[in-house]
A = this chain, B = another copy of it.
Amino acid sequence: MARTGRRPGQTETREHILAAARNQFGQRGYDGTTIRGIAAEAGVNPALIHHFFGTKEQVFAAALQLPVDPTVVLATITEGPRGEIAQRILRLFLSLWREPETRQSFLALVRSVSTNEQAAGTLRQFLEQVMLTRVADALGISRLRLTGVMSQVMGIAMVRYIIRAEPLASAEEDELVALVAPVIQHYIDG
């Protein structure tokens, strides 16, 4: 039995819509994307998207939860030695970005927050109210230090996948971990 009691067909349709949404947000940014456009790509009626998710903003929020699932990040941080937290965080993000689908999600997010104030606000709320509180509590560090960690992770994504400046863009994951993990660990240990 499905956890939510939904028929399997519904779950598939939701996933299908979210995949179309990620693609549309990635291609067109937040502003350029419409529910109608997502519906057209997913081959469903726009009303169904409204029914499943609500507004465009809520479709966006649903689509962006994938690359930054709080539960996975939290588990990554807490399960293992404290001295290797930075390494685990970095390897988690590198593994997400390695996969085209999750990388596209992340890039769509950067594009949307860079060009759309509402999208930036949505992400900001999500980070401040969900992610930062839970992770800072789990680590026992200040939220300022945690936003420092976040800035370093986002910056790596910007340089590696958006600007694609060498040699960082083509660096091996192990090489990047050796370079960046000590820096992130510094934010955690103070």
A residues lining the B interface (CB < 8 Å): 29, 107, 110-111, 113-115, 120, 123-124, 127-128, 132, 142-145, 147-148, 150-156, 158-160, 162-168, 171, 175, 179-180, 182-183, 186-187
Contacts and interface: CB of A to CB of B under 8 A. Distances in A.
Given A127-B163, A164-B120, A180 B148 contact: yes
Contacts of A167: 142-144, 147
B163 A155 contact: no
A165 B187 contact: no
A105 to B, nearest CB: 14
Contacts of A115: 29, 111, 114-115
Given A144-B179, A186-B183, A156 B151 contact: yes
8 interchain residue pairs of minimum CB distance? A155-B155, A147-B168, A151-B155, A151-B159, A114-B114, A154-B155, A111-B114, A144-B167
Contacts of A187: 179, 183
A184 to B, nearest CB: 8
Nearest to A180: B148
A180 to B, nearest CB: 6
